[in-house]
Structure 1
Amino acid sequence: MNRDATAFFVNILVPLVTGAVYFIMAAEIKRVTKIRKLMFGEIGYNKAFTAFLLFGFYFVTRPLQNVLGPHPWPMVINSVRQFFLMAVIAPSILVGILHWVPSEKGTPKSTAVAAYAGGFLMAMIFILVNSMAIDGSKILAEFGGWKIYDAKWFTSGSVSSSDFALPKARLIVIHLITQLVTPVGYFLLAAAYVRHRRYNYPMSSVYNLIPKKWKYLEAGLLIFAISMITAGFAAFFGQYYTYLWVIYFAASAVAGVIELISVKIPPREAPADLQN
């Protein structure tokens, strides 16, 4: 596969396929909500539906980052997409899971407020760093007269100069930390909460497949978070920044399928009253 075809595959095709997976998942969540909302709570399912629907839009809009034109468009689209991921989608999934995997005393409203407030703060810092660090764009591929662009960091300064290297390093660290908080940290926190509830689930419960549902849910969250960590660090410290994000896109599709399996597993064996 040549360079242009690889760029098209990584930046256009894979995100579109991943987005389609999440749209299908959102539709399935909407369908089973009508049957199981009394058991798991309408709030939890509705938040999960909204989060995965937004995830679908998040991925299918990824190509806009590359096809709208040179700088500042790649930076603008990236900032908008990451804002929704960090400030809306990740908190929605965390809060949705806290409702879906309820504790004995319920989920305090302050928890939801804190989740969204933290996501908003990290997203605004991310956008600020983007505006400071991204000052150009590069051509990834060209098909006839159609060009695919991506954002480029620090084009106006020499990364080897002593007065520029330290600010660059700081910006990169801040950029990584904001994303480690949300969405990565939120998903890891959600996975840890699901695992805690799964290990403490009463085995005598009539809903004997709940631990299995939660096991798949936990696995999907972990795959998503770990893939983003892996792709992020590989991209920043490797040689092929743009292309390494295929790790994240592909793993996100896998995580979506696993989450869909979790949703479709019935809460107990042979649930005649809960047939889809």
Structure 2
Amino acid sequence: MLFNPIFFTIFIPLLAGLVYFIMAAEINRLGKVRKIIFGEIGYKKVFVAFLLFGIYFITRPLQNLLGPHPWPMIINCARQFFLMAVISPAILVGIFHWIPAEKGTPKSAVVAAYTIGIIMALIFIAINRIGISGSQRLGTFAGLNLYDAVWFSAPLPHQSEIIFIHLITQLISPVGFFLLAAAYVRHRRYNYPLSSVYNLMPKKWKYLESGLFLFAFSLIVAGLAAFFGQYYTYLWVIYFSAAIVAGVIELIGIKLPPREAPQDLKNS
């Protein structure tokens, strides 16, 4: 069952999407009380970011179900633009607001995050159009044929360079954004005042940091596998599976109260 292509193609994305929808719902539920402490903007932005992540994961099967080439490429381009230009900057900006610095989040940082994300996404799409030349049939599900994009059905000049550029765009967004977000969380965690009444905040942030690092690392592993091997159909399973684990880790941190014995948050 675990090696069935239908399982990979349909159910892993659905599970990943469900995890992030649950995370968004928990943030929304807890934020009704805790936004008084940590700010409404931060909770709203993180809620939206995880909701968008859920949409990104759960729409993965459309890449296989809508038909042969060019549909797998079109859906892949749309979803990756969504990830690189919208979700990744939203995660970074959301965490900047959720774990604010003393001077707040500069507007220039927000503009820069989205600008870089959009540029990387457009380069990614351009490379997709160069490298994807067709599709292959993976199997059937509920009477429907499943297809996925085929890379380099015929060798191209500078093929290694094309793959390298394709991976570099993703190394910047989303990987770079997630690593930057995780590093920022770690910095804030290590510099959190020990005397604060919210004595569990460093622990909450540790879960968030771990989830971000795990997901970013899984993307790097998938990228290395692509660069030193080939663009396998199921490389995405590496980071989708990691996203499920990372989501559970982050959900634990989200549900953790900001301090021990939080009497005013018992019903949150």
d(CA) in 2 for partners of 1:144 and 1:82? Answer: 26
How far does the alpha carbon of each residue in 1:193-243 deviate from its partner, in whole angstroms, 9 at most, with x for none? 111111111111111000000100100000110011112322443367122
1:232 aligns with 2:230: no
Residue number among 240, 246, 252 corresponding to 1:255 in the alignment: 246
Contact preservation (8 Å) 1:71, 1:151: yes
Q: What SS does structure 2 have at the residue aligned with 1:241?
A: coil
Please report how far the alpha carbon of residue 165 of structure 1 lies from its aligned counterpart in structure 2 after TM superposition. Answer: 3.6
Match of 2:34 in 1: 36
* DSSP-derived class of the 1:91 partner: helix
CA contact (8 A) 1:217 1:259 kept: yes
- Deviation for aligned residue 1:14: 0.5
- How far is 1:253 from its partner? 0.6
Deviation track 1:84-124 (CA, whole Å, cap 9, x = no partner) reads 10011110110011111111111111111111111011111
Matches within 5 A, 1:150-229: 150-155=148-153, 157=154, 159=155, 164-166=156-158, 168-229=159-220
Q: Give RMSD over aligned pairs.
A: 1.6
Partner of 1:6: 4
Taking the aligned partners of 1:171 and 1:45, their CA distance within structure 2 comes to 39
For normalisation by structure 2, the TM-score amounts to: 0.95
Aligned length: 267
The one-letter amino acid of 1:172's match is I
Instruction: Check the 8 A contact 2:182/2:212 in 1, yes or no.
Output: yes
- In the TM superposition, structure 1's runs of 4+ consecutive aligned residues that sit over 6 Å from their partners are none
Is 1:75 aligned with 2:73?
A: yes
1:217-272 per-position Cα deviation (integer Å, ceiling 9, x unaligned): 10000011001111232244336712232221111011111111111111110111
1:53 paired with 2:44, answer no
* Unmatched runs of 5 consecutive residues or more in structure 2: none
- 2:86 and 2:229 map into 1 onto residues whose CA distance is 30
Corresponding letter in the other structure for 1:8: I
- Tell me how far apart the structure 1 counterparts of residues 24 and 255 of structure 2 sit (CA, whole Å): 12
Q: How far apart are residue 153 of structure 1 and its match?
A: 1.4
Structure 1 residue aligned with 2:265, among 243, 251, 274? 274
**1:154 CA drift (Å):** 2.2
Q: Contact 1:18 / 1:253 at 8 angstroms: preserved in 2?
A: yes
Q: Is the 8 A contact 1:29 1:263 kept in 2?
A: yes
**Where in structure 1 are there 5+ consecutive unaligned residues?**
none
1:232/1:245 contact within 8 Å kept: no
Residue 183 of structure 1 aligns to which amino acid in structure 2?
A: P
Q: Closer, same or farther in 2 for the Cα pair 1:49/1:148, shift >3 Å?
A: same
3-state SS in 2 of match to 1:57: helix
What is the CA–CA distance in structure 1 between the aligned matches of 2:248 and 2:18, rounded to whole Å?
A: 11
- Cα distance change, pair 251–38 in 1 and its aligned pair in 2 (3 A): same
- Give the structure 1 partner of residue 139 of structure 2: 141
What code does the residue aligned with 1:196 have?
Answer: H
Q: Within 1, Cα distance between the matches of 2:229 and 2:11?
A: 23
The amino acid of 2:172's aligned partner reads V
Alpha-carbon distance in 2 for matches of 1:123, 1:239: 21
